[in-house]
Amino acid sequence: MFLDFNDIIKNNKITEKRIPAVVIEQMSDELPGNLFYQSDDNGFAFISGFEKVSNLKYDIPDELQAEVGNKEVSLEDILLYSYNSQENIKLKPAIEGFVELDNELVPVDRFIKSLNVNSKIENGSFCIIPKPFEEKGTLTISNSEYERDMLYERVPNKSIYYAKYKAFSLGFYITILIPFSSSDKAKFEISYSIDELSSYKEAVECISLYNSFVKGEGKINNDIIKPYSITNKSNYDELLSFFKKVESIENFLGCKFDLYVGDISYGLARDIEGLYQNLIKRNPVKSYNKIESITFDEKPRNEEPIDERYVFLYKTNVKKDILGVSVELPTIVCIFNITYKCSELKDSWKADVIYNEESYSSYLSFRNIDELNEFTNSYENMVMKMKECVDINSLI
């Protein structure tokens, strides 16, 4: 995703370098004839005041020629490309050690001066050796929920139009492209990698920040960044919602789930939604599982088949292996609108459950038995609560 970065850098031209005017003047005094130095914004000073440079050869990198197309590649282009790509180049004068400018011979090591490169004479050629980049600093990205600092540094870029910077922080990346021309827009690309994270907390923060930039709500250095061209319009609201629910569940239970980086299966989504509704929202969940019979220690009130509809409630422990963690939760199950048929066993009674089109059940799991017992103190309130269950199929 590319976004406009101009407002962020307008007061901090991190690519702009100029050789001081007094230095330019002093260097020009050492040149013969009417020759003099002119500086640019990229830290280079070139000899001017001549019409023709003779007997100087240099190779044009394939990437540079492809970028400019049919445009003629100048020496200035070569030098800027060398520094921006951090690649060495060689200037090859026909007269060893000298460049001919009109009728003036100038030592090749005076032909170019720069803050950005070192140079040396090697086998009659003038070798330009770019100095390593020094530009680096900190950016702050944020949205309404999260804020983090990101280190950035300049990195090589095989281009004469854009300087490239990369910012990074715990699985979150920004690639910044800043133009050398003030008429072009600066832009950046953002991405994240869950593979580099270790927790759902980190994943939630990364995805939340990413989504904010996709929606034009993200901030850099407290300035809102509006997209002007988005190459990937996808946002990850569903994934963010899933990860937030997992994070809230593990915080509630005091466990640490394995960070899941694959496709989220329907079964996994159901399990997480069920736990979230039960533990975090305190909502009973509608169940489509049926039980065939219930065993009683004592004789039921009615042991013969009857037409009256009943509600059965019972306590159990639900065990789940989910995201690398085994959990066992005290649970209450409520079955509505059923009838039953009883039979006497040796030491107990068995009720075969008879379902109809209006029968359904719901369950509510708890963190511990104390919380379950507190919930079951009031039978009437408990039944009403269990009746108001949610259907998680409509939520995933």
Least confident of 169-173, 261-265, 271-275, 385-389: 261-265
Q: Is the pLDDT reported for residue 384 higher than 60?
A: yes
Q: What is the pLDDT of residue 341?
A: 76
Mean pLDDT of 272-279: 96
- Percent of the chain residues past pLDDT 70, beyond the cut: 88
d(CA 174, CA 140) in angstroms, rounded, equals 11
CA dist 180 and 14 (Å) reads 11
Strand residues in 210-345 grouped as ranges (E) = 219-220, 223-224, 227-229, 285-287, 293-296, 310-322, 325-344
Distance CA 248, CA 250 (A): 6
Q: pLDDT above 90 covers what percent of the chain? A: 31
80, burial (CB in 10 Å: exposed 0-12, middle 13-18, buried 19+): buried
d(CA 362, CA 313): 10
Q: What is the pLDDT of residues 69-110, one digit of tens each?
A: 888 888 788 888 989 999 988 877 767 777 888 878 888 777
Q: Where are the domains of the chain?
A: 2-10+134-241, 21-130, 267-394
Residue 1 pLDDT exceeds 60: no
60-75 per-residue burial string, b: 16 or more CB within 10 A, e: under 16: ebeebeebeeeeebeb
**CA 187 – CA 228 distance, rounded (Å):** 9
Higher pLDDT, 362 or 310: 362
**pLDDT over 50 at 11, yes or no:** no
What's the mean per-residue pLDDT of the chain?
A: 83
pLDDT tens track for 322-334:
999 999 999 999 8
Range 235-247 average pLDDT: 89
Going by the DSSP 8-state scheme, the letter that residue 393 receives in this structure is G
pLDDT tier at 54, thresholds 50, 70, 90: confident
Least confident piece of the model among 176-185, 337-346, 361-370 = 337-346
- Pairs from 187-191 (Cβ < 8 Å, separation ≥ 24): 187/2, 187/3, 187/4, 187/5, 187/228, 187/229, 188/2, 188/3, 188/5, 189/1, 189/2, 189/231, 190/1, 190/3
281-316 pLDDT, tens per residue? 999 999 877 777 777 666 665 545 444 567 888 889
Residue written as tokens 């086998």? 123
The residue behind tokens 């963010």 is 240
Q: Model confidence over 124-174: pLDDT tens digits?
A: 677 888 889 888 899 899 999 999 999 999 999 999 999 999 999 988 999
Task: Write down the pLDDT at residue 86.
Answer: 94
pLDDT at 14 over 60: no
Residue 301 has what pLDDT? Answer: 59
pLDDT at 227 over 80: no
**Model confidence at 17, in pLDDT bands (50, 70, 90)?**
low
CA distances 249 to 323, 327, 390, 392, Å, are 12, 11, 18, 16
* pLDDT of 182 strictly over 50: yes
The torsion region of residue 339 among left (phi > 0), alpha (psi -120 to 50) and beta comes to beta
pTM across the whole model: 0.73
141 compared with 339, residue with greater pLDDT: 141
Sign of CA dihedral 243, 245, 249, 254: positive
What average pLDDT does the segment 376-390 reach? Answer: 84
